[in-house]
Amino acid sequence: MNTTIRRLLYWGLLVLYLLHNDLWLWNDPRIVLGLPIGLLYHIGFCVAAMGLMILLVNYAWPSELDAEGEEQTR
């Protein structure tokens, strides 16, 4: 596994952690696409978190854990 990709994914986790609380949109009354801007932000955040989790499972999951699970089921 390329360690550069793994590090980028871990940095992505840190960025999502920092962006989790949208203090800048808390009192913003704007409506976009029929939704409050804060709710729309969290929908986008959830989609970004889902994408990052998919990438983490596919590229940063330790292969040793899969090997242990296969041995225990036999």
Residue span of the structural domain in which 44 resides: 3-63
Question: Is residue 49's pLDDT more than 90?
Answer: yes
User: Please, which pLDDT band fits residue 26 given cuts at 50, 70 and 90?
Assistant: confident
| Residue at 27 is within a domain | yes
Mean pLDDT, residues 18-34 taken together:
89
| Residue at 15 is within a domain | yes
| Residue at 42 is within a domain | yes
| Residue at 71 is within a domain | no
| Residue at 13 is within a domain | yes
- Token match 């989609």: residue? 47
Helix/strand/coil for 16: helix
Question: Is residue 46's pLDDT more than 80?
Answer: yes
DSSP alpha helix (H) spans, the chain? 3-19, 37-59, 63-73
Q: How many domains are contained in the chain?
A: 1
Which is higher by pLDDT, 68 or 23? 23
| Residue at 74 is within a domain | no
| Residue at 69 is within a domain | no
- Is the pTM for the entire model greater than 0.85? no
Cα distances from 58 to residues 14, 49, 68, in angstroms, run: 18, 14, 18
